[in-house]
Amino acid sequence: MVVREERSTEPVVEFPLVDIRGSDDGPTVAITAGMHAGEYAGVLATLKLISALESVRIRGRVLIVPIVSVRAFYARNMQLSPIDQKEVHYVWPGRPAGSHSDRLIELLFRTVRLADAVVDLHGGEFVQDLTPFVGVPWERDDDLFAQSLELARSFDVPFVDQRAVAETPIALPRALYREGIPNIWSEIGHNGLPGAVEVNLQLDGCQNVLRHLGVIEGRSVRHRPRIVGPKHWSVVTDRTGIWLPNIHAGQRVRKGQVLGRMTDVFGSPIETVTSPADALVEFLCTSPAVDGERRPHGNTWHQWLVQLVDDRGVALARKRS
Ligand SMILES: [Zn+2]
C-alpha cells in the first residue's frame, strides 16, 4: 500500500508501506529505510527482507517502509529534501501543518509509533565515507536504552554509537525514545554504493532483530560491538574551496593530527584542518566541493568535513539469547 497525505496546493506526501500481519499474536516491529536518498544499502535490504518474510511464519506484525523520502530518492537528491531543503533526520514530528518534510515526518511518526520497536536503516550518503555502526539514542542509562542496545547487538558491526540525542538535532529517534519505544538506526554502507556486503549486513541485522523479538523463528545471533560516544566532534569549515582529506573512516586519530586541507580553486592552501581530540573517524566528507556559505535552515551540513567520536574502548559482553 501507499501511505499518503494530500493537499491541493502542495506536492503530495506519501511513502510505500508493507504491512505484514502474522497468524499469531506478537510484537509489532517497524523497519524503515531511505530517509536520506542516497543510502541505498538499507533500501535494498528492505526489499530482500520483504521477499524473505513471504515464506516464514510471523508472530505479531512487521511494518516496512522501503523508502521514506520518495521524492528525494527518485530525484537522486542527497541528504536534504529537494522540496524544502530540510534535513529530514532533524525534523520533529508534531507539525502536520508545516512544510513538506514536517508533514513527511509527521506521517512517518504516526505510522511507526504503534510499534514495539523501530529500526531505521541509514548509511553513508554519496559524499560520505563511513565505518559501519549502529546509532542508539541515549539520555540516561535506563531500561529503554538497554532494550535499544540489545536491538543494536543484532547487527554485525564493529561499533555501537551511544548518541546523547538531547545534545544533537537528531529528532525522530529522540521522539520515539520519549514515547518509550526502543529504537536504533543503522549506519552501514558508504558513498551511496549498494554493495552486496553492506546490503546483507543490513538484512541480517533486521532478521536478527525479528528473531530477538520472537517475530520470526530461529536463534538470534548476538554480536559484540564496541560502544563509542556519547562524546562527538563535528569538524566543520567556514571556507569555500576544495577539501582534500588524508584520513579514512574507521581510522583512529590523535589530537592535533592533520585531517586534511582546504585549498582554493588554484590549489593554494587556505586552511589546515586538525583533530580536536583523540578519537575515531566515524564518517567524513569525500566530496572536494565545499560551500562555506551554504547553510540550509542554519544547518552546517555543507560545511561539515569530519565526524569524530570518543572511543572509550568498552566492548559489550558476549551473550546468547
Ligand atoms: Zn542517513
Model pLDDT for residues 125-155, shown as the tens digit of each residue: 999 999 999 999 999 999 999 999 999 999 9
Surrounding residues of ion ligand 1, Cβ less than 5 A:
36, 39, 122
What integer best gives the mean pLDDT of the chain?
A: 94
Distance (angstroms) between ligand 1 centre and the Cα of 86 equals 13
| Distance of alpha carbon 51 from alpha carbon 121, whole angstroms | 17
Distance (angstroms) between ligand 1 centre and the Cα of 37 equals 8
Model pTM score: 0.95
* pLDDT score for 313: 65
* pLDDT score for 316: 58
pLDDT digits (tens, 9 = 90+) for 32-81: 999 999 999 999 999 999 999 999 999 999 999 999 999 999 999 988 99
| Distance of alpha carbon 137 from alpha carbon 128, whole angstroms | 22
Three-state secondary structure readout of the chain: CEEEEEECCEEEEEEECEEEECCEEEEEEEEEECCCCCCHHHHHHHHHHHHHHCCCCCEEEEEEECCCCHHHHHCCCCCECCCCCCEHHHCCCCCCCCCHHHHHHHHHHHHHCCCCEEEEEECCCCCEEECCEEEEEECCCCHHHHHHHHHHCCCCCCEEEEEEHHHCCCCHHHHHHHCCCCEEEEECCCCCCCCHHHHHHHHHHHHHHHHHCCCCCCCCCCCCCEEEEEEEEEEECCCCEEEEECCCCCCEECCCCEEEEEECCCCCEEEEEECCCCEEEEEEECCCEECCCCCHHHCCCCCEEEEEEEEEEEECCCCCC
Split at pLDDT 50, 70, 90, the class of 320 is: very low
Split at pLDDT 50, 70, 90, the class of 321 is: very low
Distance (angstroms) between ligand 1 centre and the Cα of 267 equals 32
Distance (angstroms) between ligand 1 centre and the Cα of 269 equals 31
- Mean local confidence (pLDDT), 6-11: 74
Distance (angstroms) between ligand 1 centre and the Cα of 306 equals 15
Residue range 2-227, CATH number: 3.40.630.10
Where in the chain are the domains? Answer: 2-227, 231-311
Split at pLDDT 50, 70, 90, the class of 298 is: confident
- Mean local confidence (pLDDT), 239-243: 97
Cis peptide before 230 (omega within 30 of 0): yes
Contact predicate 11/70, CB 8 Å: no
Amino acid at 164: A
- Mean local confidence (pLDDT), 210-236: 96
Class of domain 231-311: mainly beta
Split at pLDDT 50, 70, 90, the class of 318 is: very low
